[in-house]
Chains A and B, each alone.
Chain A
Amino acid sequence: DIQMTQSPSTLSASVGDRVTITCRASQSINNWLAWYQQKPGKAPNLLIYKASNLESGVPSRFSGSGSGTEFTLTISSLQPDDFATYYCQHYDTPSQTFGQGTKVEVK
């Protein structure tokens, strides 16, 4: 199975900061990568699909990039509503796996 590794596990930041989260796949996933945001007690919310495509309704401060095995999620200017946990997920095969998550917390 393809393993997904996110870094960092925790990120401390302030409102207005530019934030970058990295996700690495154990083998090429042909850009079949999604990013989700999850807040405590809530279901995840799809932000990005196919590595760089913004899901409808998601603010443009979120962006995704990368290819092959290395991908990034960037929040251009962190807003109060963005403190949450972020997960990457590959869907290159039906056995989709998630990264372990990155918690963005208040600095």
Chain B
Amino acid sequence: EVQLAESGGGLVHPGGSLRLSCAASGFTFSFYWMSWVRQTPGKGLEWVASIGEEGGEKYYVESVKGRFTISRDNTKNSLSLQVRSLRAEDTAMYYCARGPPKNYGPFDSWGLGTLVIVSS
């Protein structure tokens, strides 16, 4: 069974940083593109970042470029999102999501999410 478990969220002041993590199990992690998707409380979904199966390709939504960094460790079946210079508008539930093998695409498995609150 595919499982994705996010951690690392919390309350942080504007301008602060966090490192979000996603532990993957139940599938061959190194075969799949992985992504982060966020959802503002009571609002819709926003794709944040994606990374290719080997980590060489990375893509970000414009609003987080230069502030967020996606990475993966295929030896540890782990996905990360380093978030810096946080703003109030980054407050959201952050989901780890699995994409298809070998290319970006729809997300067929999701974690339960980790909540990031940016507030003074």
Q: Out of A44, A45, A49, name the residue touching B45 (CB < 8 Å).
A: A44
Instruction: Collect the chain B residues with CB atoms within 8 Å of residue A97's CB.
Output: 47
CA distance A34 to B110 in the complex (A): 15
Interface of A is mostly: loop
| Residues 11 to 39 of chain A near chain B (Cβ within 8 Å) | 32, 34, 36, 38
Asked if B105 and A91 make an inter-chain contact with CB atoms under 8 angstroms apart, the answer reads: yes
A94 at the binding interface (Cβ < 8 Å): yes
Asked if A98 and B44 make an inter-chain contact with CB atoms under 8 angstroms apart, the answer reads: yes
A-B contact count (CB 8 A): 54
Asked if A91 and B106 make an inter-chain contact with CB atoms under 8 angstroms apart, the answer reads: yes
Identify the closest chain B residue to A43 (Cβ): B110
Instruction: Collect the chain A residues with CB atoms within 8 Å of residue B46's CB.
Output: 98
A87 at the binding interface (Cβ < 8 Å): yes
| Residues 39 to 97 of chain B near chain A (Cβ within 8 Å) | 44-47, 50, 57, 59, 61-62, 95
CA distance A3 to B7 in the complex (A): 30
A1 at the binding interface (Cβ < 8 Å): yes
Instruction: Collect the chain A residues with CB atoms within 8 Å of residue B57's CB.
Output: 94
Instruction: Collect the chain A residues with CB atoms within 8 Å of residue B35's CB.
Output: 96
- B: residues with CB less than 8 A from A are 35, 44-47, 50, 57, 59, 61-62, 95, 104-108, 110-113
